[in-house]
Structure 1
């Protein structure tokens, strides 16, 4: 009986101890994977301005800076796409104000530049792009995506989920005011990239595990009709 009691007490203490070690090991593994992933994410961001020679069906720029819009306009002006969507435009911004930022003629702006006012975030940009592409018959075509270098991974993840049949070409805009290569020495840059990395992981989790295929749902008939009418 005494031997059995000693065994019971030892077993009772040993099992929780093993569980604590297992949990600690799991936490250490996840933390290491998170840090390694962050380092890889930071190192993967473009350091130099993108150059593309591809011909695509459309150019899509996610608003967030005049340099993004200017670069997207340049791609349209050089004939690398048939149409340009500027998604996430501030509702207070007029079309003639946008036209002044683009290196395109007035005729090209009026015929081939579309302004999207509905999007308020990156997932909204993806849905607005999906609707625009479907309305113009290029939902399964090719698109050049223009946004900042640090924002590009998340933008591509959202757009790939919204337009699974489209071929996406990234055109990363590099800002002189934010140098991603300083992520180790500049705390502000580290915070920005870390926040972007966390958002990127959430997008991957949401689009691939929690809501697979949900972002690519069909348009409502009224929305399809409205956008098709705009395309004519």
Structure 2
């Protein structure tokens, strides 16, 4: 008769339980590390958003704009174009580029909407119908300025859009300096510095684009040039 040998060592329930606890500890450490990392990233982004809103508020404070070679307005609201035309009339720049105009909008329509004599457009205003985003605005404005020998520009856009616009324009090597003139969006603010609900949503969206632009620049991921942009410059003579 064969008697099966029993194992000499048997695991006790207490030892097995201890092993389970030891197995859980690395998982707990990983979860804790992930939680701390998430909290750190969230805190960094929250602090960055706070600084971003302060920058938008600072840029929207009216300041006396310095003279420049020319003025660039990024479309997105009639008030932006009005600001640019006022700067042109006051001699702050020799010429004005309105970038990103809808292809269906004529010069006559812009003159009528801004209550401006069309002769000012014929004389001293160029219209860019090609740029579809802020990257395109900066590229076309840079080529336009280089072609005309302009190095110092005044940039006009909305307050919330200005920080990201400055990032894109700063990367254009042919431009020496950019003076921001931000158009304040009063519907974003309640009182002096408090955001409205719609203002908070808009600034959060814009902050996301701003962070993405900084990351792209930090990684050296320059936007590809569009051949259509170069051919389009001929129409801005």
TM-score bin (small chain)? 0.7 to 0.9
Q: CA RMSD in A?
A: 3.0
Which residue number in structure 1 is paired with residue 108 of structure 2? 96
2:199 corresponding residue in structure 1: 189
Where structure 1 has 5 or more consecutive residues not aligned to the other structure, the ranges are none
Partner of 1:82: 94
Native 8 Å contact 2:72 2:156 kept in 1? yes
Could you tell me which residue of structure 2 aligns to residue 29 of structure 1? 40
For the pair 1:70 / 2:109, whether they are aligned, the reply is no
Contact kept? 1:150, 1:180, Cα under 8 Å: no
Distance, in Å, in 2 between the alignment partners of 1:150 and 1:223 is: 26
1:227 aligned onto 2:233 = yes
Is residue 198 of structure 1 aligned with residue 198 of structure 2? no
Do 2:144 and 2:236's aligned partners in 1 also have CA atoms closer than 8 Å? no
Larger of the two Rg values belongs to structure: 2
Give the drift of 1:192: 0.8
Scaled by the length of structure 1, the TM-score of the pair is 0.82
Over 3 Å counting, the alpha-carbon distance change for 1:228 and 1:52 in structure 2 is farther
CA distance in 1, matches of 2:132, 2:225: 20
| Structure 2: runs of 5+ lacking an equivalent | 1-8
After TM superposition, give the deviation of residue 130 of structure 1 in Å. Answer: 2.1
Partners of 2:109 and 2:33 lie apart in 1 by 59
The superposition leaves residues 82-103 of structure 1 with CA deviations (integer Å, 9 ceiling, x where unpaired) of: 1111001011110112223457
Does the residue aligned with 2:68 lie in a helix, a strand or coil? coil
- Range with greater deviation from structure 2 (175-184 or 149-158): 175-184
TM-score by length of 2: 0.81
State the number of aligned residues.
Answer: 225
